[in-house]
Amino acid sequence: MKNFILIGKNADNNLIISKKNISRKHAKISKIEDGQFLIEDFSTNGTYINEKRIKKFLLKKEDKLFLADYEIKTNFILELFSNDFFKKNKNVNYESLKKQIEFTEKFFLLKEVYEKYQNDKKKKLSGSAWKKTGFRAALALIPLVGNALGIMASGNNAKQREELMALNDQFKIDYVCPKCKMFLGDLPWQGIKNQKKCRACKTKWEL
Ligand SMILES: [Zn+2]
């Protein structure tokens, strides 16, 4: 297992940052005992932790890390150590890695979007339809966004119908691929995650 990474402008670094103020060999992050990480600076323009210039420092995932004037996402980089990312990918461009990280972060936020939608839907449907059919039976009747409206319409008043429609419309706007914006369908987030990538634009959800 690789226990350190080199960061800098040169192509032989593990994390390559092609920016003006980054040195050819800028810094090194090493995994030392019991899950601690040491960062060492070799640069001209400096390495900054929480706005203080450092030479050697025990890095924590919540630290704000800047190489010269360039910010590095500490928590993600430290996590990449634990899944052997740098063993599988020896020389990675940080700019493209950052894009993937941001995409992955947005994708993980969709879990909440899905759960909130399900909860809101349950709340909205907790009126007359529940009393008639019972909680479980009613749930079984609404597996799909499209069907739900048709089935529930008979049992609900106009206001409830309108609220449900607004909820579904918003869900179709929010529950989309962070890149191509395709609606992911009324599938639980875990199921979407298991598909590994977006069916439309093929972007992978995770690294
Ligand atoms: Zn997509």
CATH of the domain at 27: 2.60.200.20
Tell me, yes or no, whether 125 and 173 share the same domain. yes
Q: What is the dihedral of CA 180, 181, 186, 188, to 10 degrees?
A: 70
Pick the last residue of a domain from 90, 112, 146: 90
Confirm whether 205 is domain-assigned: no
Boundaries of domain holding 123: 97-194
Same domain? For 110 and 180 the reply is: yes
Are residues 169 and 106 part of one domain?
yes
User: Do 79 and 104 fall into the same domain?
Assistant: no
Which tokens go with 52?
């203080």
Same-domain check for residues 106 and 83 = no
Q: Residue 82 Cα, ligand 1 centroid: separation in angstroms? A: 27
List the shell of residues around ion ligand 1, using CB closer than 5 Å: 177, 179-180, 198, 200-201
Same domain, 69 and 9: yes
pTM over the 0.85 mark:
no
pLDDT tens, per residue, the chain with 207 residues: 568 999 999 999 999 999 999 999 999 999 997 789 999 999 999 999 999 999 999 999 999 999 999 999 998 889 888 778 888 888 999 999 989 989 999 999 999 999 999 999 999 888 655 555 555 555 665 555 555 555 555 555 788 889 999 999 999 999 999 999 999 998 999 999 999 999 999 999 988
pLDDT value at position 154?
Answer: 53
Is residue 189 in a domain? yes
Q: How many domains does the chain have?
A: 2
Residue 46 and residue 74 in one domain: yes
Domain match, 14 and 85 both:
yes
Which whole-number Å values give the CA distances from 207 to 2, 29, 82, 104, 185, in the listed order? Answer: 18, 20, 13, 8, 23
* 204 within a domain of the structure (yes/no): no
168 in a domain, yes or no?
yes
122 and 50 within one domain: no
| pLDDT (0 to 100) of residue 88 | 87
What are the helix (H) ranges across the chain?
A: 74-82, 85-88, 94-124, 128-133, 135-141, 145-153, 158-174, 189-194
What is the pLDDT at residue 159?
87
Distance 200 CA to ligand 1 centre (A): 5
Distance (Å, rounded) from C-alpha 18 to C-alpha 149? 52
d(CA 207, CA 101): 8
Distance 172 CA to ligand 1 centre (A): 14
β-bridge partners, 56: 40
- Pair 24, 61 in one domain: yes
